[in-house]
Structure 1
Amino acid sequence: MKRVIALLLCVVSTASYAAEQAGTIFKQLAPSLYQIRLIDKVSGEKSTIGSGFQITDNGLIATNYHVISGYAQAPQKYQIQYLDDQGNKGELSLESVDVINDLALVKRSVSKPMSFFAIAEQAPIKGEKLFSLGNPHDLGMIVVPGTYNGLKTESFNDKIHFTGSVNSGMSGGPVVNKDSEVVGINVATSGNQIGFLVPHDKLVTLFDGYKTAKPSSIEEQMAAQLKDNQKALFTTLMNSTWEGKALGAAVVPTIDVPFIRCWGESNADKKDALILSAMANCALDENTFIDATFFTSSVEMQFQYMETDKIDDLKFYHLYQRQISRATAGNKATKEDVTEFACHHDLVAPMNMSITNKSILCTRNYKKFPELFDVLYLGLSVDKKKQALISHFTIAGVEQSVATAFTKKFMESVAWK
């Protein structure tokens, strides 16, 4: 009994110390914390809220790109505004962005030097106690203690796994160590005490670039970042091992990288099913946010194998054809963002392949970033009477040369056993 009481006292003491430390940090840093608001100019009301923190004495503030994305896409519609710890409001200018890592720099006018956050020189160690600051659900600034759990292994672009309650409205807020140094920026949550942070070195890179030369155009800056990211991503994918994996009587590709994850399903347990169907889906575990209706940098590969010995060839063909309409682009976009898909149809039977496909390749162009495209491919096997394979991929935000190379490798990786 005494041991249990001692353990309880230890837990209470630790929790009390953490709360006291969080309170001290908040009191010290509150003047450099802000709520970041996107104000609709016509209605005069808040459209988006997030958090931000000052990183220089002359008013430069870091936040998430997605917090101010509406302004970046439509500056004529919105105004960026801050609210400080004393209730003062003011307008912010957009200075620079990192759309890939979801960061932005905004600036307020100041009449004298102000306090600001120091950025850490070293990354935290696994298990280190951290403190997330932000404005959850428009309830006012708070401090949330949590734990550093290293980088998320399933991401192509680095994200920190943070055990703590990162809630809506805390986006763009700083995460600090016990010395009040910024080691990350709140960016997303998966609930159940699972949060994700942008590592502080991404902010350092953005800040250093801004100090060297402020971008002349946010749109041109975003275009360059999107192109650089897709080149890095698809260079990694194309140079990685493509493994052939059995799916029924077919062989389909999987790419041996940790950030492409695969799932599968079949109806093998349905004894009365007219058609045996097995599906596999492999996808990039992230994408890039442009605005609320436009996402890019996604990769998705889908395969469906079907066979039957219960129905005739014609009925099987008609049921098979119905599956084709289910193929859609893997990313969200609107007609303001992209052109209509233009499609090319062909019958393809490469010399080194055992399968003949009716192939449909569709592309659509980005209106603001004309060198980038979304690509949708659909391959329909046509060489077996009671077996069929649908192979499908979509890749988002790629240049034409990348689309051509990926399509060729994908088609050559699909075959019958």
Structure 2
Amino acid sequence: MPFPLIRPLRLATSSLLLLLCALAHAQPAPQPAAASTPAMRPAGSAPVDGTTPTPGGAAAAAPTAADAALLSRDARRIYELSRDKLVQIRTLLRNANTQASIGSGFFVSADGLIVTNFHVASQLALEPERYRGVYVTMEGQEGEVELLAFDVQRDLAVLRAKGRTAAAPVLGFRPTTDALAQGERIYSLGNPLDIGFAVTEGTYNGLVKRSFYPRIFFGGALNPGMSGGPAVDDAGRVLGVNVAKRLDGEQVSFLIPAEFAQALVQRAANAQPITQAAHAEMTRQLMEHQQLLTDRFLKAPFREQRHGNYRLPVPDDALARCWGSGRDPAFPGLNLERTQCQADSDVVAGDFSTGAVRLSYEAYNAPTLGAARFARMYSQSFANERLPTRGNRHQTAAECTERFVDPGTVPLRAVVCLSAYRKLTGLYNMTVLATSVNQPTQGVLGRLDVQGIAFDNGMKLASHYLKAFRWEAAP
């Protein structure tokens, strides 16, 4: 199965033209990172394994008309209770005064502090000379906002409504000591697809398994434009912040737990507005992220995946999801098995993502091909691997080193490539490509990709990875 995609919910205004043609197919902001792998889940396949299941696993009974009416009344009550506390966040080009992106937010203090997602406000943090921000209430009142603080790791930001004289109506937070029950009904609010403010009913399904930072699995529909809006309980207390949805499923959405928003609000209360590009602060936070990532991978021993006599390193179940495929009929005479693993550790860094860790393997066994034919095929497979040799506006062109190494029980041909971030000093994207060279008609090709890693930690992870390849001779 290909890597699943999770899309943040900011709405790029370039999609508004498509909205006029087909609302159901409006395109959100460009997908950061991982967009090259399609998100597809066949009908009838296993449920998403990144979530905490409902105890007992029993199917819910179909709601009666009375139940539906009660739920509808609850949603209307939540809507009326929250409507004056909600805002739309718009990012505008300073010169043209046109919208660049749209998200949602909500007031959390009488003096006008607003919580939203970092990916909604990232242009204000990274390009304040080009962009400015405004908030718009449900009644159409508009005002300027200034950015006070952001948390890249958890995708949160706190803004302040500038020049506001009247006290802002406030949404309160649900106490962390008041735990939610599995299956409890909750409500997400925001401005989907720039159509208008809306409330979406859904259920609390616990925390997402294997998520690098805690995320709530919301069993309800979120759409682009709802990023940064609140999710509340039946008393109208904020329990989470809308952030993303799965592209390959229905009503599989995610919320940031409210405790992290509360912590950022406390940090922002006495902060000065961010008026200069904040790449240094983003770098500091991403450095913390990559250190946590490195520590977790180094402390958790690799599991071994068997392919014939080869033993290949696979991340611990607590760190990553893995998918595999068996023999490929497109390659007759060749037993080819594939494995792909991905850690749920991506963070949004403006208009791109970083912090991801991905591993993949191809294991070959072709006893009928002969050594020469196998070598040609095996070498071509190695050459077909795309390496990041070309730069872009975020990163430099990669520098690669190739050598033959024998770190354990398998001699390997290894290539290590590093590409530096232009504005995030000290951070790199790293690719490690390794092939075994110990058998004439068998081999394994492994690849490790790590985004946003410091040089020293990159070398530690590369060494940790290569040393984990093993060959176990037949008795």
Say yes or no: TM over 0.5. yes
Say which is worse superposed, 251-260 or 152-161, in terms of deviation. 251-260
- Which one has the bigger strand percentage? 1
User: Contact 2:362–2:444 at 8 Å: present in 1 too?
Assistant: yes
Instruction: Describe the shift of the 1:399–1:26 C-alpha distance in structure 2 as closer, same or farther (beyond 3 A).
Output: same
Select 1:121's aligned residue among 161, 175, 178. 175
Select 1:66's aligned residue among 109, 119, 132. 119
Match of 1:4 in 2: none
Asked if residue 342 in structure 1 is aligned to residue 399 in structure 2, the reply is yes
Report the 3-state secondary structure (helix = DSSP H, G, I; strand = E; otherwise coil) of the residue aligned with 1:209: helix
Asked if residue 164 in structure 1 is aligned to residue 220 in structure 2, the reply is yes
Shift of 1:157: 0.7
- Written as runs of structure 1 = structure 2, the 5 A alignment for 1:325-364 is 325-328=383-386, 335-350=392-407, 353-364=408-419
Asked if residue 194 in structure 1 is aligned to residue 252 in structure 2, the reply is yes
Match of 1:263 in 2: 323
Shift of 1:201: 0.8
Say which is worse superposed, 17-26 or 153-162, in terms of deviation. 17-26
- Written as runs of structure 1 = structure 2, the 5 A alignment for 1:13-412 is 13-109=66-162, 110-122=164-176, 123-190=179-246, 191-211=249-269, 213-214=271-272, 218-267=278-327, 273-292=332-351, 294-328=352-386, 335-350=392-407, 353-412=408-467
- C-alpha distance in structure 2 between counterparts of 1:29 and 1:36, whole Å: 16
User: Contact 1:327–1:392 at 8 Å: present in 2 too?
Assistant: no
- C-alpha distance in structure 2 between counterparts of 1:252 and 1:269, whole Å: 23
Instruction: Describe the shift of the 1:232–1:307 C-alpha distance in structure 2 as closer, same or farther (beyond 3 A).
Output: same
User: Contact 2:149–2:267 at 8 Å: present in 1 too?
Assistant: no
- C-alpha distance in structure 2 between counterparts of 1:97 and 1:306, whole Å: 47
Shift of 1:212: 5.6
User: Contact 1:176–1:183 at 8 Å: present in 2 too?
Assistant: yes
- C-alpha distance in structure 1 between counterparts of 2:287 and 2:387, whole Å: 20
User: Contact 1:265–1:279 at 8 Å: present in 2 too?
Assistant: yes
User: Contact 1:378–1:391 at 8 Å: present in 2 too?
Assistant: yes
Q: Give the RMSD, CA atoms, in angstroms.
A: 2.1
Shift of 1:273: 0.7
User: Which of 1 and 2 has higher RCO (CA within 8 Å, sep 6+)?
Assistant: 2
User: Contact 2:193–2:225 at 8 Å: present in 1 too?
Assistant: yes
Deviations 1:347-385 (A, max 9, x none): 1113xx221111111111111111111111111222322
- C-alpha distance in structure 2 between counterparts of 1:120 and 1:127, whole Å: 17
User: Unpaired runs of 5+ in structure 1?
Assistant: 1-6
- C-alpha distance in structure 2 between counterparts of 1:269 and 1:322, whole Å: 18
- C-alpha distance in structure 2 between counterparts of 1:334 and 1:22, whole Å: 49
Q: Which amino acid aligns with 1:393?
A: L
- C-alpha distance in structure 2 between counterparts of 1:209 and 1:71, whole Å: 18
User: Contact 1:215–1:221 at 8 Å: present in 2 too?
Assistant: no
Q: Which amino acid aligns with 2:448?
A: F
User: Contact 2:148–2:271 at 8 Å: present in 1 too?
Assistant: no
Match of 1:3 in 2: none
User: Contact 1:175–1:182 at 8 Å: present in 2 too?
Assistant: yes
Report the 3-state secondary structure (helix = DSSP H, G, I; strand = E; otherwise coil) of the residue aligned with 1:390: strand
Q: Which amino acid aligns with 2:122?
A: S
- C-alpha distance in structure 2 between counterparts of 1:17 and 1:307, whole Å: 61
Report the 3-state secondary structure (helix = DSSP H, G, I; strand = E; otherwise coil) of the residue aligned with 2:338: strand
User: Unpaired runs of 5+ in structure 2?
Assistant: 1-60
Percent identity of equivalent pairs: 27
Report the 3-state secondary structure (helix = DSSP H, G, I; strand = E; otherwise coil) of the residue aligned with 2:75: helix
Q: Which amino acid aligns with 1:77?
A: R
Q: Which amino acid aligns with 1:392?
A: R
Instruction: Describe the shift of the 1:296–1:95 C-alpha distance in structure 2 as closer, same or farther (beyond 3 A).
Output: same
The structure having more radius of gyration, on CA atoms, is 1
- C-alpha distance in structure 1 between counterparts of 2:391 and 2:80, whole Å: 44
